[in-house]
Structure 1
Amino acid sequence: MTKKELSQLYYLNREIVQLQARLSELEDLATSSTQKITGMPFGTGVSDMVGRYATEIADLKALLDLNLKKCFYELNKLNHYIESVEDAQIRMILSLRYINGLSWQQVAFSIGESDEQFPRRKHDKFLKQNENLTKKTN
């Protein structure tokens, strides 16, 4: 598995957070926008703001649902890959970094190291070895 493949869960989670924020914003706009009653009839060029927000909200909810399904798929794929790694420390580094989304410094502290370079180097060395093994078998 490549670094890009390992990082997909992280970016999907960030995208989901952004979609949820936009959804919340639209829902607030939809509930706070009320039509002004002026006693005058509406013209043909007037749009229904609540209706437009409702359409955007429905689209965002569908996109959010799709991304959540992708997220579960990526999480499952990552868990299977990480469990297949023989080295327990590498498994822990990969899990902390890609499943928990920790920074390299947080990963280092979690595995009992103070230097963030330690887990990063082990990670990079492991991925390079796997890449070389994959190239040899193909």
Structure 2
Amino acid sequence: MMTKNELSQLYYLNREIEQLKIRQRELKTIAEGTTTRITGLPFGTGISDKIGNYASDLADLDTLIAISLQKCWQEIKRLNQFINTIDDSQLRQIFSLRYINGLTWQQIAFAIGESDESYPRRKHNTFLKAAENAESSVIIS
């Protein structure tokens, strides 16, 4: 059995990757950016390699992104294994659309042929609650 927090890890990993990619784009923009020289102010005569200065940071970000993508694939595999244990086909769709595809409850409702977002949410929550109760009764026994 998985908790909502465990089920949501893929969502947070994807957000983490997006933040890393934003930082990567920012660094590339800084490294590749050019500045205009203001006349009348002193300036250095040395040559500056902006891309070289940021190369290490960019390489580190590339590595972090690659590691996070690998974690995403592992999480997708783990989620699919859990979802495939669910007997109800519609419930499997709900869990897959929510946790693998990252859809909103309204989008899920439309995808399964319902118009009310509370239907898939209620079915999802009822399943998790029942599974949690079943698991806790096994532990107590």
TM-score bracket for the superposition, by shorter chain length: 0.7 to 0.9
The Cα offsets for residues 38-75 of structure 1, whole Å up to 9 and x where unpaired, read as 56469xxxx96544421211111111111111100000
Return 73-82 or 11-20, whichever deviates more.
Answer: 11-20
Q: With the length of structure 1 as denominator, give the TM-score of the two structures.
A: 0.86
- Tell me, what secondary structure is at the counterpart of 1:84? coil
Q: Structure 1 residues 41 and 96, CA, compared in 2 at 3 Å: closer, same or farther?
A: closer
The gaps in structure 2 that reach 5 residues or longer are 38-42
The equivalent of 1:117 in structure 2 is: 118
Q: Quick check: 2:32–2:50 contact (8 Å CA) kept in 1?
A: no
What's the offset of the Cα at 1:85? 0.5
Match of 1:54 in 2: 55
Share of identical aligned residues, percent?
Answer: 55
Structure 1: which amino acid aligns with 2:61? L
Partner of 2:95: 94
State the aligned residue count. 132
Q: What is the SS of the residue equivalent to 1:61?
A: helix
Tell me the TM-score normalised to structure 2 length: 0.84
Runs of 4+ in 1 over 2 A off after TM superposition: 38-42, 47-52
* CA 100–135 in structure 1, closer or farther in 2 if over 3 Å, else same: same
Mark the CA change 1:122 to 1:26 in structure 2 (over 3 Å): closer, same or farther.
same
SS of the residue 2:10 aligns to: helix
By how many angstroms is 1:137 displaced?
Answer: 2.2
Structure 1: segments with no counterpart, 5+ residues: none
RMSD: 2.1
Letter in 1 for 2:118: Q
